[in-house]
């Protein structure tokens, strides 16, 4: 039932997101034709504000719909026989967003939400295996990214131990260090070969100084859990892998995947990486925007010939 409701919300969100450009299309056409009344500046500003609200609300509703269609960890593991990729993190990091950088931050509209760090990781690691995680207790609906399983407080360690025992890779979010994440690191170090553990340090601060400060803080809080410590600096990389003697190495996503798999891993198609629900939403948005852009061009061309 939730998945059907999620699909309906995605449809509603797409329609609402496309309503914004549709409302603004006549005014934009008048602006380019030079027929906008001189006293309509305030109305134009209000109209553009409504357009932004429609687009923002539509994107938010699409996000909720996609979350409702997210498969559970049990469903994903049942449909994908490959060893899982286990994602470990503090629940505090569930909303951690990637810093787009100064250039993109200036050009990114206020109504477009920032990408969550977990989503980029899960999409990339799908080629290695189904990405799963423990869900936050009391969560109404799962976050996008790793597929969740919800277990009682007294069972989460047993579930992590079960998953890590057959995982192709265990990835720890290197941000907040809590008693729970300390246990997870110690368990992974004690039970896994080094190539099957990696740390993910997302770019939550685009400045070099900010990234190094956050990394130093994580090293102080959690570095002692690793047999050979952590690298002296993080630089512009987002991942850390480990050699067979636990020597840490800064690495790219691709290097971590190939190191864990013991060689190159075939890339998934874009459709398989995104999933059917996201592809359907993306196609609908692109077709709708394409139709509106085509209509605007036709109107402008007709106005030129009629003038």
What is the tens place of the pLDDT at every residue in 219-252? 999 999 999 999 999 998 999 999 999 999 999 9
Q: Tell me what the mean pLDDT of segment 158-186 comes to.
A: 93
Q: Which two tokens stand for residue 137?
A: 């207790």
Higher pLDDT, 191 or 30: 191
Contacts of 140 (CB under 8 A, 6+ apart): none
Cβ–Cβ contacts within 10 Å for residue 234, how many?
A: 23
pLDDT surpassing 60 at residue 2: yes
**pLDDT of 240:** 96
pLDDT surpassing 50 at residue 4: yes
Interval 111-158: pLDDT, tens: 445 578 898 899 899 999 999 999 998 888 888 889 999 999 899 999
Eight-state DSSP code of residue 138: T
Eight-state DSSP code of residue 226: S
**pLDDT of 104:** 39
Q: In what order do the strands lie in the sheet with 85-88?
A: 147-149, 131-134, 85-88, 169-173, 197-200, 239-242, 248-251
Contacts of 174 (CB under 8 A, 6+ apart): 199, 200, 201, 215, 218, 222, 240
Mean pLDDT of the chain: 84
> Rounded to the nearest 5 degrees, what angle is found at the Cα of 244, between the Cα atoms of 240 and 247?
45
**Least reliable range by pLDDT among 182-191, 193-202, 289-298:** 289-298
**pLDDT of 233:** 92
pLDDT surpassing 90 at residue 167: yes
Of all residues in the chain, the percent with pLDDT exceeding 90 is 43
**pLDDT of 133:** 95
pLDDT surpassing 80 at residue 276: no
Alpha helix (H) residue ranges in 223-269: 253-261
**pLDDT of 106:** 44
pLDDT surpassing 50 at residue 260: yes
- In this structure, the dihedral spanned by the alpha carbons of residues 42, 48, 53 and 54, taken in order and rounded to 10 degrees, is 130
Query: Which among 191, 126, 129, 185 has a CA at the least distance from the CA of 164?
Result: 191
Higher pLDDT, 102 or 243: 243
**pLDDT of 110:** 45
**Beta-bridge partners for 169:** 85
Asked if residue 68 lies in contact with residue 141, where contact means CB atoms within 8 angstroms, the answer is: yes
**pLDDT of 32:** 55
**pLDDT of 281:** 85
Asked if residue 64 lies in contact with residue 12, where contact means CB atoms within 8 angstroms, the answer is: no
Asked if residue 150 lies in contact with residue 176, where contact means CB atoms within 8 angstroms, the answer is: no
Interval 36-88: pLDDT, tens: 555 566 666 777 788 888 888 888 899 899 888 889 999 999 999 999 999 99
pLDDT surpassing 60 at residue 102: no
**Least reliable range by pLDDT among 85-94, 227-236, 267-276:** 267-276
Backbone angles phi, psi at 196, to 5 degrees: -100, 15
Whether this prediction's pTM lies above 0.85 is answered by no
**pLDDT of 120:** 86
pLDDT surpassing 70 at residue 30: no
**pLDDT of 107:** 41
Query: Which among 221, 138, 123, 238 has a CA at the least distance from the CA of 181?
Result: 221
């Amino acid at each position: 039932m939730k998945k059907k409701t999620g699909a309906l919300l995605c449809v509603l969100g797409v329609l609402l997101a496309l309503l914004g450009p549709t409302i603004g299309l006549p005014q934009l056409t008048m602006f380019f034709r030079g027929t906008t009344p001189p006293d309509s500046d305030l109305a134009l500003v209000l109209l553009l504000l409504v357009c932004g609200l429609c687009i923002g609300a539509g994107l938010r509703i699409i996000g909720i719909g996609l979350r409702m269609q997210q498969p559970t960890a049990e469903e994903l593991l049942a449909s994908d026989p490959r060893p899982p990729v286990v994602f470990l993190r503090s629940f505090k990091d569930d909303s951690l967003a990637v810093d787009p950088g100064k250039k993109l931050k200036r050009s990114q509209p206020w109504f477009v939400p920032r990408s969550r760090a977990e989503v980029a990781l899960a999409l990339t690691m799908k080629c290695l295996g189904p990405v799963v995680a423990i869900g936050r207790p009391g969560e109404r609906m799962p976050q996008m990214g790793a597929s969740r399983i919800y277990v009682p407080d007294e069972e989460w360690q047993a579930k992590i131990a079960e998953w890590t025992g057959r995982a192709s890779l265990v990835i720890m979010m290197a941000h907040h260090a809590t008693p729970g994440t300390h246990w997870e690191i110690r368990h992974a170090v004690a039970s896994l070969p080094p190539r099957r553990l990696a740390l993910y340090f997302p770019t939550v601060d685009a400045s070099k100084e900010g990234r190094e400060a956050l990394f130093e803080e994580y090293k102080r809080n959690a570095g002692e859990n690793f047999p050979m410590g952590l690298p002296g600096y993080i630089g512009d990389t987002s991942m850390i892998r480990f050699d067979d003697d636990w020597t840490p190495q800064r690495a790219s996503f691709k290097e971590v995947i190939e190191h864990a798999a013991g060689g190159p891993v075939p890339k998934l198609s874009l459709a398989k990486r995104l999933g059917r629900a996201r592809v359907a939403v993306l196609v609908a948005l692109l077709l709708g925007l394409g139709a509106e852009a085509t209509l605007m061009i036709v109107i402008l061309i007709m106005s030129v010939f009629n003038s």
